[in-house]
Amino acid sequence: MAKVIWTLQAEENLSEILNYWIKKEKKEYAEEVLNDIEKRIKVVSKDFYMGQRTDDGSIRIIHKYNYSIFYKINEKIIYILLLTNNIETEK
């Protein structure tokens, strides 16, 4: 199992995604999203190459309906670079 390091950007993105659902009065769903993200990252720490490769080649993406996880592999370390909210937010 590889060591996982979250970048500050990824931590901020996670907070924004969870706050989005909490503000929608869906705290339980926010908890489900957090659990799902944690599970997917645990799987990635065992199977580095499960994510789709980007054009960059060194960055991979795991897509889920409402979010995406971008990560980079460096030896036995996985860097979680950022998360994106794939749900259109209201302006």
Instruction: Note the pLDDT tens digit of each residue in 71-83.
Output: 999 888 999 999 9
Enter the CATH code of domain 3-85. Answer: 3.30.2310.20
The domain limits of the chain are: 3-85
Type of residue numbered 78: I
| Rounded alpha-carbon distances, angstroms, from residue 3 to 28, 55, 88, 89 | 28, 24, 32, 33
Q: Tell me the whole-structure pTM to 2 decimals.
A: 0.86
Q: Which pLDDT score, from 0 to 100, does residue 60 have?
A: 94
